[in-house]
Amino acid sequence: MMLRTLFASTVFALLATTSGAETTFTVANTFQDSKLTENAEISTTAFDAEIYANRVANVGAGVELPDFVNFYSIDVSEDLATLTMTVSELAQPFNNPMPAGRFDRYYFTFTGAVPTAASIDAEASNPELAQGASVAVTTAGRLVVEFAEGADFTAGNKLVVTLQ
């Protein structure tokens, strides 16, 4: 009986610690172009290490990364239900909309509570941006958002990803 009580207390303590842990995410950006990078996917830190540096943020009530890489405001809802990427007023795309053969990818890695599935919410997103976007979970806690041909980077356009 004493062993069972000790075990139950230990499990409860572990659950309380896990549920109280902060959820964080890291985001990294890559770029691929048939001409500019000869189809190689490269980290955008090669263009400017300071502007394009990977960023870490705690999931909370506000926008976690305003003007990330001078292109998007990134917000993960506090309940980890959505990830929203809104094109910033600072955005200056090479071409708009995104031409064929060019890809802009954002790799998100979550710690703490982690998404295991993701899909684009077409009703909450601007169709001009969503038409060239895709999202995939590569492993538990890691997902990639890709923008490709047709994505319209007009300031204010947003992509909303439903997380599960």
Q: Tens digits of per-residue pLDDT, 93-113?
A: 989 999 999 999 999 999 999
* pLDDT for the residue numbered 8: 36
Tell if the pTM clears 0.75, that is, is over it: yes
65-68 vs 24-33, strand pairing mode: unpaired
Question: Residue 7 above 90 pLDDT?
Answer: no
For 128-142, what is the mean pLDDT? Answer: 96
The pLDDT assigned to 94 comes to 84
- What's the chain's average pLDDT? 89
